[in-house]
């Protein structure tokens, strides 16, 4: 006899175990955990590595940065009407570093501790049209494709005028000497890159080249980019760019810079100046030929010679600027206390005299009204180099202009004029300057004041 109650109870217990709510929740939790685990593993297997760990991705980024280097015209024609104002038309997107009283310059990479580390790059070897020359800045790791890197320090000069004339050339290159003194900590350039109106120039005038040679201790290597193909970029490990000549420099810093060049020139030429002495006063008539020469040189020499003879110890020298070597000019200026000369580039030699020496300047007819501010450059230079500009004489007589003499067209005629003389005026002028110089030298000797610069340290 079967007892249903015994056969049904086990079945009921089994059903209760298999479908227990607690067990169901437990199994569901395990399933969820397993699903999440395997899903994460699947993601790890299929997600690509980060881009920075992918060589091909990194290479692609570098290539993009190389291609993104933007070259701009070295000569920005938007500023052609005011090339000397503001940031100029040369590398017009760049702004200068300018500390109070110091020279204005650009440096690549930036000298600041947290500055821009990009390098200057040029496509700039056109000698005829500056608008075909270009510049850019680029990170050292992503320089333009096919770029040539030039090691060492490069000086890049922009000159609104030219490098042949000794005044214009010195005005453009003297700021590099100022940078060399202070910011450059006496660093010597490997090469010079010269631009005039944005066009590459391949030489300096002999006098300008020599003063740079004696200052930096060797002939300047003027870069011609030989072997560099047209349009091929050149980048510079270190570059210093000048665009503003001496603009922004204080008078004190200008004098220090001229002191250094004077000292280096005298050392190079083996010229040893004597200590200041009341016994002698050197007066030099530094003559020109052609434009702005004296019409009657003999008469002018006689007038100044007569006044020099009245002063004990006065020594008169007459020289022509076009037939002296550089070292002969250094020696002549070193013996000169009073420089008498017509307006012209030869007056640039004045900084080779001792400080506080005197300058007397002469002009042909018409210059005061028509020559513009350029006629005052040697007056400025006298102040900047520590000299004394004793005034200028302007000849009231000369060539006749067919136009009204206020007409600017007359300047083309007056520019090449020659200079006469006024015996009474010249005699009185010479006497006054000679007496002033004699008294000054006596005072310097009494107070043991030397105006010579004996040390040629670049960081004086």
Q: Where are the domains of the chain?
A: 68-249, 276-446
- Output the pLDDT for position 444: 86
Q: What is the pLDDT of residue 17?
A: 41
Average pLDDT for 104-114 = 93
Confidence of residue 163 (pLDDT cuts 50, 70, 90): very high
The 10s digit of each residue's pLDDT in 395-405 is 999 999 999 98
pLDDT at 349 over 90: yes
List residues bridging with 363 in a β-sheet.
394
Average pLDDT over residues 1-25: 45
Which pLDDT value is given to residue 181? 94
Please state which of the ranges 237-241, 326-330, 338-342, 445-449 shows the lowest mean pLDDT. 445-449
pLDDT of residue 455: 66
**How far is 349 from 335, CA to CA, in rounded Å?**
12
Residue 63 has what pLDDT?
A: 74
Name the residue among 78, 95, 330, 84 with its Cα closest to residue 215: 330
Share of the chain above pLDDT 90, in %: 70
The arithmetic mean of pLDDT across residues 376-404, rounded, is 96
Please tell me the predicted confidence (pLDDT) of residue 23.
55
- pLDDT at 48 (0 to 100): 41
- H and E: helices and strands count for the chain: 12, 13
> What was the pLDDT predicted at 109?
97
At residue 32, the pLDDT reads 57
Superfamily for domain range 276-446: Flavodoxin domain (3.40.50.360)
Quick one: pLDDT at residue 321? Answer: 87
Question: How far, in Å, CA of 320 to CA of 328, rounded?
Answer: 11
The pLDDT, as a whole number, for residue 447 is 80
The pair of three-digit structure tokens given for residue 80, joined into one six-digit string: 């052609």
- Tell me, what's the pLDDT at 46? 38
Maximum average pLDDT range among 95-99, 124-128, 152-156: 152-156
Q: What is the mean pLDDT of residues 101-109?
A: 96
Predicted local confidence at residue 266, as pLDDT:
97
Rounded CA-CA distance 105/183 in Å is 10
Lowest-confidence pick of 17-26, 215-224, 338-347: 17-26
Average pLDDT on 190-204 reads: 96
pLDDT above 90 (res 27): no
Average pLDDT on 104-125 reads: 93
- Residue 21 is predicted with a pLDDT of 57
Q: What is the model's pTM?
A: 0.83
- What does the pLDDT read at residue 52? 46
Cβ neighbours around 171 below 10 Å, total: 20
So what's the pLDDT on residue 355? 96
Tell me the Cα Rg of the chain. 38
Sign of CA dihedral 241, 243, 245, 251: negative
pLDDT, greater one: 192 or 277: 192
Res 453 pLDDT > 50? no
Q: What pLDDT does 392 receive?
A: 98
Mean pLDDT of 55-68: 69
How confident is the model at residue 446, as a pLDDT? 82
Comparison of pLDDT for 22 and 345, the residue scoring more: 345
Q: DSSP string of 81-140?
A: T-TTSTT-SBTTT---B--TBSPPBEEES-SSTTS--PEEEEE---SS-GGG-EEEEE-G
The confidence score (pLDDT) of residue 12 equals 42
Give the mean pLDDT of the chain: 87
Asked if residue 451 has pLDDT above 70, the reply is no
pLDDT tens per residue, range 264-316 = 999 999 998 665 566 799 999 999 999 999 999 999 999 999 999 999 999 99
pLDDT band at residue 113 under the 50/70/90 scheme = confident
pLDDT for 276: 57
pLDDT > 70 in the chain, percent:
83
For 65-87, what is the mean pLDDT?
A: 80
What CA–CA distance (Å, rounded) separates 105 from 333?
A: 31
Query: For 3-15, what is the mean pLDDT?
Result: 41
Please say if the pLDDT value at position 6 is more than 50. Answer: no
CA-CA distance, 343 to 395, in Å (whole number)?
12
Question: What's the mean pLDDT in 319-340?
Answer: 96
pLDDT at res. 429: 98
């Amino acid at each position: 006899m079967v007892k249903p109650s015994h056969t049904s109870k086990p079945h009921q217990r089994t059903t209760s175990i298999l479908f227990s709510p607690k067990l169901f929740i437990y199994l569901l939790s395990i399933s969820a955990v397993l699903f999440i685990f395997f899903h994460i593993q699947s993601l790890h297997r299929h997600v690509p590595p980060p881009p920075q760990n992918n060589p091909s991705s990194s290479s692609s980024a570098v290539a993009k940065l190389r291609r993104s280097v933007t070259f701009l015209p070295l000569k920005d024609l938007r500023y052609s009407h005011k090339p000397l104002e503001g940031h100029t038309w040369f590398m017009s997107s760049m702004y200068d570093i300018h500390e109070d009283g110091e020279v204005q310059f650009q440096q690549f990479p930036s000298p600041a501790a947290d500055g821009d580390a990009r390098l200057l790059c040029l496509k700039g070897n056109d000698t005829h049209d500056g608008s075909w020359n270009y510049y850019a800045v680029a990170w050292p790791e992503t320089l333009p494709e096919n770029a040539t890197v030039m090691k060492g320090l490069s000086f890049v000069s922009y000159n609104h005028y030219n490098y042949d004339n000794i005044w214009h050339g010195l005005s453009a290159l003297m700021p590099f000497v100022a940078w060399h003194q202070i910011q450059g900590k006496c660093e010597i350039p490997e090469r010079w890159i010269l631009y005039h109106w944005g066009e590459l120039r391949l030489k300096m005038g002999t006098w300008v080249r020599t003063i740079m040679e004696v200052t930096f201790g060797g002939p300047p290597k003027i870069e011609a980019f030989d072997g560099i193909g047209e349009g091929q970029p050149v980048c510079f490990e270190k570059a210093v760019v000048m665009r503003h000549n001496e603009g922004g420099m204080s008078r004190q810093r200008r004098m220090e810079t001229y002191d250094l060049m004077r000292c280096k020139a005298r050392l190079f030429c083996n010229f040893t100046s004597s200590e200041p002495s009341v016994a002698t006063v050197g007066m030099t008539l530094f003559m020109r030929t052609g434009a702005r020469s004296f019409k009657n040189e003999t008469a002018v020499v006689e007038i100044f010679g007569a006044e020099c003879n009245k002063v004990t110890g006065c020594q008169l020298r007459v020289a022509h600027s076009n037939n002296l070597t550089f070292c002969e000019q250094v020696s002549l200026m070193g013996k000169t206390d009073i420089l008498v000369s017509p307006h012209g580039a030869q007056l640039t030699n004045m900084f080779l005299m001792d400080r506080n020496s005197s300058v007397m300047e002469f002009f042909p007819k018409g210059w005061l009204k028509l020559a513009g501010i350029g006629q005052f450059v040697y007056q400025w230079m006298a102040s900047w180099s520590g000299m004394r500009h004793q005034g200028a004489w302007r000849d009231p007589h000369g060539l006749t202009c067919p136009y009204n003499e206020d007409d600017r067209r007359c300047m083309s005629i007056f520019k090449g004029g020659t200079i006469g003389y006024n015996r009474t005026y010249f005699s009185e002028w010479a006497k006054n300057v000679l007496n002033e110089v004699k008294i000054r030298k006596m005072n310097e000797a009494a107070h043991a004041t030397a105006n010579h610069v004996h040390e040629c340290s670049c960081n004086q």
